[in-house]
Amino acid sequence: MNILLLLIPLSLLFLAGAVWVFFWAVNHDQFDDLETPALLPLDDLDRRDRPPE
């Protein structure tokens, strides 16, 4: 059972990482528009010359 002492802190670390990544994504507009990106793949054209982001 001693392995728990390593694995549990590790899982908590992962958890903190996941929350941090998600907060970053929310704060960087990734969840502001959930509809439009779903439509975009419908045009299967070459998108190499997309506007610079």
Partner 1 sequence: MSASSSCWHCGETLTGGVLIHARVAGVARSMCCQGCRAAAEWIEQLGLADYYALRTAPAQRPATESDHAAHDAWGGADNARHVIRDLGNGRRESLLLVDGVRCTACVWLIERSLGTVPGVLSVQVNAVAQRARVTWRESEVTLPRILQALSRTGYRALPLDARGLDDLRRRESRDALKRLLVAGFGTMQAMMYATAIYLGAAETLDTSTRELLRWLGLMVATPVVLYSARPFFAGAWRSLAARRVGMDVPVALAIAAVYAASLIEAVRGTGEVYFDSVSMFVFFLLAGRYLEMRARHRARDLTDALARLTPPFADRQRGDRIQRVGIHELQVGDVVRVAEGGIVPADGVLLTERCRVDEALLTGESAPQSKRRDDPLIAGSVLEDGPVLVRVERVGADTALAGIAALVGRAHAERPRLQIAGELAAARFVARVLVLTALTAAAWGVIDPARAFSAAVAVLVISCPCAFALAVPAALTRALGALARRGVLVVKPDAIQALAECTHVLFDKTGTLTEASLSLADVQTFVSNTDALRLAATLARQSRHPVARAIAAADPGIPDAAVTDVATHAGLGVSATIDGRALRLGRGDFALGGKPLAREYDDAVLLADDDGPIAAFRVNERLRADAGATIDALRAQGVTALISSGDAYLKVAAVAARLNVGTWRARALPADKLAWVAELRAAGARVLAVGDGVNDAPVLAGADVSIALAEGAELTQASSDIVLTGGRLDAIAAARDIARQTLAIVRQNQRWALIYNLSAVPLAALGFVPPWLAALGMSLSSLGVILNALRIGRGDEMPRGARQVQTPATSPRTAVA
CA torsion, points 26, 12, 10, 18, in degrees to nearest 10? -10
CA–CA distance, 41 with 22 (Å, rounded to integer): 23
* 39 touching partner 1, by CB under 8 A: yes
Residues 6 and 14: their CA atoms lie apart, in Å, by: 13
Among 3, 6, 35, 48, binds partner 1 (CB under 8 A): 35
Minimum distance, C-beta of residue 7 to partner 1, in the bound complex (Å): 11
Binding site for partner 1 (CB under 8 A): 1, 4, 8, 11-12, 15, 18-19, 22-23, 26-27, 29, 31-33, 35-36, 39-40, 42-43, 45, 49-53
